[in-house]
Amino acid sequence: MALKDDAPNQTLDTLGRVCPYPLLLTKKALEKLDGGQMLKVLCDAPASAEDSIPRYCEKNGFGFESVKLEDKGYWELFIKKA
């Protein structure tokens, strides 16, 4: 089942923020969540959405799924904390 099909425990809006802030805010939000909980991040910084956040998730063994909303110009990132 896709991560985006689950209801997130928290939604983090990082729209308008540039690197490294989306990653820093994402890390902070994930620290407060319990294992197995889901964070949805709204991000319009390509470097964060396509590079730093996915790399951070991979390094920590977190589930990660990205949905690019072309019409809105941002990504919805779904992160499941390990």
Active site residues: 19
Nearest to 42 by CA among 77, 69, 72, 17: 77
Distance, CA of 16 to CA of 58 (rounded, Å): 24
Cβ neighbours of residue 34 closer than 8 Å, sequence gap 6 or more: 81
